Structure formats: C-alpha cells, structure tokens
Structure 1
Amino acid sequence: MSLSNVLVTLAIAVVAIVLLLGLVNMMRGGSPQRSQQLMRARVMLQFVAIVVIMLVIWAKTSHS
C-alpha cells in the first residue's frame, strides 16, 4: 500500500470516526454543545480530506 493510499484512507477514517462520535452523542442525548463541536470538527476534517484526495490525484496524474 502506497503512502498516498494510506493518507487518503486515514483522512476518510478520521472523518467517519468524528461523524460516528457525533451521532452517538446525539442518540444518547448528550450535550448539544458537544454535538456542535463535533460537527464543526467534521466539517473541517472533511475539507482536509478533500484537499488530501485532490493532492493525491494531482500527484498521480502529474507523474504519469
């Protein structure tokens, strides 16, 4: 598995984990403030994941 594949997988996994933490918090009736923090973190991490994916695509297409 190449480094680019690991980075993309890691970025997606981190987003999924934060999403699941937010869902669990809401289902348990947890703090709305915590849900909001998790939602903000998820949005930021999604942005980072998209940037990582785009950089990997760019790197793979520019070196072929």
Structure 2
Amino acid sequence: MDTLFLILVPIALLAVLGALGLGLYSMARGGAGSPERSNKLMQLRVVLQAVAIAVVLAAVWIKSR
C-alpha cells in the first residue's frame, strides 16, 4: 500500500503543477477565447488540488494505522 501512495502522491502533485502552469500560460498569452480557457484550467487546478489533498490525507491515515 505504501508503494501505491509513493506513486499517487507525486502524480497528483504534478497534475496540479501542470494545470497551474497551463492556466498561467493561457492567461499570459491572451487572445480570443483565452479567458474562458484559463478559467477552466484554474477550475481544474482547484479540483486537482482537492484530489491531491485527499490522496495525501489517505496516505497519512493509512500510514498511521
């Protein structure tokens, strides 16, 4: 089970970092349709952050048992 979390935690964190990077890039680039795209990417980032927190909390909870 520890191996699973050793894989899931970095994947979740990299997904958050990727969504954040793409959202910031989309905002900086600008152009037509950019506000909608960057807004969706930032919403995705919030969801991915919640998933990452849940994975970390599950890892800590499993480890403490």
Partner of 2:8: 7
Give the Cα–Cα distance (whole angstroms) in 1 for the partners of residues 22 and 38 of structure 2: 9
Alignment gaps of 5+ in structure 2:
none
Partner of 2:53: 50
TM-score (norm 2): 0.89
C-alpha deviation, 1:27, in angstroms:
1.2
Give the Cα–Cα distance (whole angstroms) in 2 for the partners of residues 25 and 40 of structure 1: 13
- Percent identity between the two aligned chains: 47
C-alpha deviation, 1:40, in angstroms:
0.6
Q: Let me know the Cα RMSD of the aligned residues.
A: 1.3
C-alpha deviation, 1:18, in angstroms:
0.4
Displaced runs of 4 or more, over 6 A:
none
TM-score (norm 1): 0.90
> What code does the residue aligned with 1:61 have?
S
